Structure 1
Amino acid sequence: MELGVNRRLELLATGLTDNDLRRMVRRNELIAVRPGWYATRDADPQAVVAARNHGALSGPTALDKHGFWVPPGYDSVHIRSGKAALDLGKACCRPSGPPIPVHTILDQAPLALCAAIPCMTGDDWIAVADSFMHSAQLDVELLRAMLPRPTRVIDTLLTECDPCSQSGTETLVRIRLRRLGFEVVVQPRLIGVGFSDLLVGRLLIECDSELHHTSLENYRNDRRRDRRALAMGYSTMRLTYDDVLYGWDDTVADIEKTLADDRHRIAPAWDD
């Protein structure tokens, strides 16, 4: 990802020379952020902050820049610092074990996930891990093999991950309901209806994203799906982003009331 902040060695690998770099600094085309690191005039401000603090963007910040879903509440700049910054006493996001050298301004997703463990809640970490796996078409075992610093905490969280999840809100609803003892099926495909987000007993749960917009065609298709599901004995509950992120207590109370008489019933088979 191009953030406009690079190590000297990265720039030299593109064919530039040290004379070129000095000339570009004199012409104000590059900024010497710190010894061995340069930024363009329009560089990402968070990347510049990371470089000045002897580190790389990591944790939730890096995961967001890679395009994965990150829940709200992680707006501060998360920086994983190398040994130089640790010697300077700078606080940082870091995975377990000895410091890992900083060679690029943006940590790759597996390292960022490890560094995010101290910074995120367990539920939020699972949601981001699901987003990564779904985007990269990985299963849980492949993700674990990619992590540079797996720990017992990470292993525990991975037991609740599911790469089939297609949104962060879907992940949060799934893990919360399973912890309450509900049997939750992810992405069930019902005959005549198609795929849904979650199935609990005879209740289909659809989870909207923060930027969910429904065209007239999608609106009509959703109502058609709901009608067909109802005719088959399923009801549908559509949850908004706010229902999951900010109003969960009320939302789960409504789900529990809806499932009160249906909690342990096994729904008919769905399509494969």
Structure 2
Amino acid sequence: MDKIIELGVTSRAELIAGGLTDNDLRRMVRRGELAAERRGWYSIPGADSDALLAVRGYGALSGPTALDKYGIWVPPGYEAVHIRAGKDAMRRGEACCRPPGPPLPVHSILDPVPLALCSAVGCMSPDDWIVVADSVLNSQGLDVELLLAMLPRPNATIEMLLTECDPRSQSGTETMVRTRLRRRGYDVVVQPNLVGLGWFDLRVGRLLIECDSKLHHTSLENYRKDRRRDRKSLARGYSTMRLTYDDVLYGWDDTLADITRTLDDDRHRLPPPDDE
């Protein structure tokens, strides 16, 4: 509910449930404290522009837009506002983002995470959907089975994509690298824990892969820590490859070529030391 309040667009039912009466609502409209957007829906001054677009389109924010509002990391390319249209909007012939099956009623301006995730499957590429699903799993402490049970309309596509998800993933870039390498037949270990060195993002054979989660400048302390871990892991038979955000998002072909050349080296095909 806090997220809905932040957006500044609510339904009459939500306001009544919060303790207001219809007389209160009419009074607030007269005073300019609320604006009647359409029948049964109100906004406050300064309401979120995406939410206003949704309510005026007879729908709710859903898919990538809703997930972003909840703080779920969404890959670039989904900046357009994604609206799940209710039955009224469907009759009006307006475009919509929707989950599998017939249209569902709109009760709130912001779809809950499970419904937004279901809607996103028709708006996002399979790989990007896995990224946001991993983010939901990790940020909300869920496993795949529990998330599947929470989804309102999981179809065969969603169930298939969930088999590639992993709640241990710590970032969207890590998810991207994992899924891309596995689809090329590599045995990718997620979040390996090396005794005395700690956790790493991914391991393929004796190659450790660390993925930057976003564009950032690392602190001097982290820089020193990372280089120490690189040195210690190298002394124990591992190599470390550090991938930037740009390497994964915008330079993947070149990055993959380097990974492939590295993994084709026979020493990386050997079993890793027994220290995980």
TM-score by length of 2: 0.96
Instruction: Tell me by how many angstroms 1:221 deviates.
Output: 0.6
SS in structure 2 at match of 1:98: coil
User: Which stretch shifts more, 92-101 or 210-219?
Assistant: 210-219
CA contact (8 A) 1:188 1:270 kept: no
Residue of structure 2 in register with 1:66 after alignment: 70
Residue of structure 2 in register with 1:265 after alignment: 270
Whether 1:157 and 2:161 are equivalent positions in the alignment is yes
Residue of structure 1 in register with 2:257 after alignment: 253
Give the alignment's Cα RMSD to 1 decimal.
1.0
> How big is each residue's C-alpha offset from its partner over 1:135-158, in whole Å with a ceiling of 9 and x where there is no partner?
111111111111100111011101
Q: Measure, in 1, the Cα distance between the counterparts of 2:175 and 2:63.
A: 19
**Partner amino acid, structure 1, of 2:163:** T
Call closer, same or farther: CA 1:270–1:162 in 2, change over 3 Å: farther
Residue of structure 1 in register with 2:120 after alignment: 116
Instruction: Tell me by how many angstroms 1:211 deviates.
Output: 3.7
CA contact (8 A) 1:37 1:51 kept: yes
SS in structure 2 at match of 1:237: strand
Instruction: Tell me by how many angstroms 1:213 deviates.
Output: 3.4
Whether 1:107 and 2:141 are equivalent positions in the alignment is no
The correspondence of residues 172-251 of structure 1 with structure 2, limited to 5 A, is 172-251=176-255
> How big is each residue's C-alpha offset from its partner over 1:144-201, in whole Å with a ceiling of 9 and x where there is no partner?
1111001110111011101010000000000000111111000000112110000011
The correspondence of residues 17-32 of structure 1 with structure 2, limited to 5 A, is 17-32=21-36
Identity %: 69
TM-score by length of 1: 0.97
**Partner amino acid, structure 2, of 1:67:** G
Whether 1:146 and 2:129 are equivalent positions in the alignment is no
Instruction: Tell me by how many angstroms 1:56 deviates.
Output: 0.5
User: Which stretch shifts more, 23-32 or 159-168?
Assistant: 23-32
Residue of structure 2 in register with 1:127 after alignment: 131
Q: Measure, in 2, the Cα distance between the counterparts of 1:54 and 1:264.
A: 56
**Partner amino acid, structure 2, of 1:130:** D
Q: Measure, in 1, the Cα distance between the counterparts of 2:136 and 2:52.
A: 25
Paired residue for 1:171, among 151, 175, 195? 175
Provide structure 1 residue ranges, at least 5 long, that are not aligned to the other structure.
Answer: none
Q: Measure, in 1, the Cα distance between the counterparts of 2:145 and 2:61.
A: 26
Instruction: Tell me by how many angstroms 1:20 deviates.
Output: 1.5
Q: Measure, in 1, the Cα distance between the counterparts of 2:162 and 2:144.
A: 7
CA contact (8 A) 1:5 1:105 kept: yes
Runs of 4+ in structure 1 over 3 Å off: none
Instruction: Tell me by how many angstroms 1:270 deviates.
Output: 3.7
Residue of structure 2 in register with 1:78 after alignment: 82
For these two proteins, the number of residue pairs brought into alignment is 271
Provide structure 2 residue ranges, at least 5 long, that are not aligned to the other structure.
Answer: none
**Partner amino acid, structure 2, of 1:89:** G
Q: Measure, in 1, the Cα distance between the counterparts of 2:105 and 2:269.
A: 51
Q: Measure, in 1, the Cα distance between the counterparts of 2:260 and 2:275.
A: 23
Whether 1:8 and 2:49 are equivalent positions in the alignment is no
